[in-house]
Chains A and B, each alone.
Chain A
Amino acid sequence: MALDEDKKRSVHEFFGEDPEKADKEFFGRIANPDRRGFLKRTGLATMAAMVGTSIPFHRNMPIGFVPAAMAQENVLVGKDGLTLLNDRPVNAETPPELLDDAITPTSRHFIRNNGIPPENVDPEAWTLTIDGFVDTPMELSIADLREQFAVVTMALALECGGNGRAFFDPPAKGNQWTYGAIGCSEWTGVRLKDVLEKAGVQSIVVYTAHYGADSHLSGDPEKLPISRGMPIAKAMTDNILIAFEMNGEALHQMNGAPLRLVVPGWPGSCSQKWLTRIELRDQVHDGPKMTGTSYRVPAYKVAAGQDVPKEDFVIIERMPVKSLVTFPANNSDIGLETEVRGHAWSGDRTIDKVEISMDFGATWMNATLDAPVNDGAWQNWRANATFPQAGYYEIWARATDSEGVMQPFAIDWNPKGYLNNTMHRVGVRAS
């Protein structure tokens, strides 16, 4: 059923020849509100016109199947091994064993989109507006940012607020992320704090509001897919970047090229992609996905499935303590002795301890834990595990942060499926 290698190559060639046209035609197609009419008309001629060339292997290509295949190849260009949860808007996560690097390669960094990415992402033409309650509103090009402010590179951990949602019972609405909506890449940019200080933050400011160039799924140009913000005190911390490079290269299109915020340790949605404007407000921001129950949890503990009145929800700030086992992979065969390794993080805090268990949590041993390479980075850890005899084992990991808070065993259920920081379990067959 999958495209064979030759057919995959032909689609790749198409994108290789004129990726801009391919993008435009793909995104133009999905913006068409009359998708039904489009699909009903879709035949070989339409498809050939759409791709702008003939399709040598068209006989092998089931009609109605090709656009989905193109969409997938298109949306995950430059990514390697990610699990695609949704192709419009694009959402893709990374299997834990592919997050083994100390610094997450761009190809392995998850994608969480709320809308349709902008088509025109020319870094030369891009501008960022700083306005609202500032002394001097500014409009800055990326070149201005580089020239006027200190350019810094930091490893920063970004995690989607809904990472781990798939394990909620009853299920919670939204993308069913499992483990891999987390990454810690090296981001290069200027400090948000420096830019805001230059603009002059007025004393009445309480919150930031972030705006991006992506468009709403409905196609309505008046609607924003997402516009979130953070308390001004958080915005003025040292580890928040307005970033234009990821791992030493231009940002990946699906990770916000050419400009984005990177707010480590808080829900990824604070880190606006395709960033065009930061407004300083004298009230808590009320943009799309700031209000209602979006990125919010009940102010108190609730039972699984409990109905919670909207007014009892509070905005999520820092992400909780968590760890991931990135080696060995789940469901793998290993020897009786193995290194076990992974990462641990806790928003606005550091990790004090990572422990692993090979006997379903009966006994625990400390892993060797590295300091974060900088404020806002995750921490790498490793341990040597020895299994007493051949058989099935589970490796469990649990982190404890600098405030003494440890990962729980069971999910702290909440209606929208956020903040699942339960221990990661990896099953192996040792022999």
Chain B
Amino acid sequence: MPFAILRRFSIVAIGCVLAPPSLANEDYEFGVLFDAPGVETTFYACTACHSEMIVAQQGLTREEWDDMLEWMVEEQGMYEIEEPERSEILDYLAAHYNTDRPNFPRPLE
């Protein structure tokens, strides 16, 4: 398992720039986040305070993502995200950044 991970180290390194999900699309605006419905709302909500890179590293259930948003509001100074954006973000995160880690930047095998 660790063997497989190390092979992927070389893709992200100093001096390089992060490759967006679609190499063919140079205008992609949402950093390392997976390109799917909900990505724009998610990207702007998250990157108001922190990089989307920390989002893309996580593998959480919908409930855990929900708790995470609550924690950010209660303890980290994030303003409440209104509906329907909140559900849109949770749907997006639960679909693409769940515990099976379909889009983990350095996938585990």
Contact = CB atoms under 8 A, between A and B. Distances in A.
Interface in B18-69: 18-20, 23, 26-29, 31, 44, 47-51, 53-54, 57-60, 64, 68
Interface residues of B: mostly helix, strand, loop or mixed? loop
Given A83-B9, A171-B101, A173-B60, A8 B27 contact: no
B77 A220 contact: yes
A166 B53 contact: no
A63 B58 CA distance: 27
B5 interface: yes
A202 interface: no
Nearest to A76: B14
Contacts of A176: 57-58, 104, 106
Contacts of A95: 6, 9
A36 B17 contact: no
Given A85-B53, A216-B77, A166 B31 contact: no
A68 B18 contact: yes
B23 A1 contact: yes
Nearest to A12: B15
A338 interface: no
B53 A87 contact: yes
A330 interface: yes
A65 B3 CA distance: 32
Given A35-B44, A171-B101, A2 B3 contact: no
Residue of B15, B27, B76, B78 ringed by the most chain A CB atoms within 10 A: B15
B57 A85 contact: yes
Contacts, number: 130
A217 interface: yes
B99 interface: yes
Interface residues of A, number: 56
A425 B50 contact: no
A72 B53 CA distance: 12
A36 B44 contact: yes
A31 B59 CA distance: 27
B12 A84 contact: yes
Interface string A81-113: 111111111010001100000000000000000
A91 B53 CA distance: 10
Given A62-B27, A64-B27, A87-B53, A35 B14 contact: no
Contacts of B7: 330-331
Contacts of B3: 330-331, 394, 425-427
Interface string A50-84: 00000000000011110011001100100111111
B2 interface: yes
A218 interface: yes
Interface of A: 1-3, 8, 33-36, 39, 62-65, 68-69, 72-73, 76, 79-89, 91, 95-96, 166-167, 169-171, 173, 175-176, 178-179, 216-220, 223, 329-331, 394, 424-427
Interface of B: 1-3, 5-7, 9, 12-20, 23, 26-29, 31, 44, 47-51, 53-54, 57-60, 64, 68, 76-78, 99, 101, 104, 106, 108
Given A73-B15, A86-B57, A170-B59, 4 more contacts: A68-B18, A69-B17, A179-B2, A218-B77
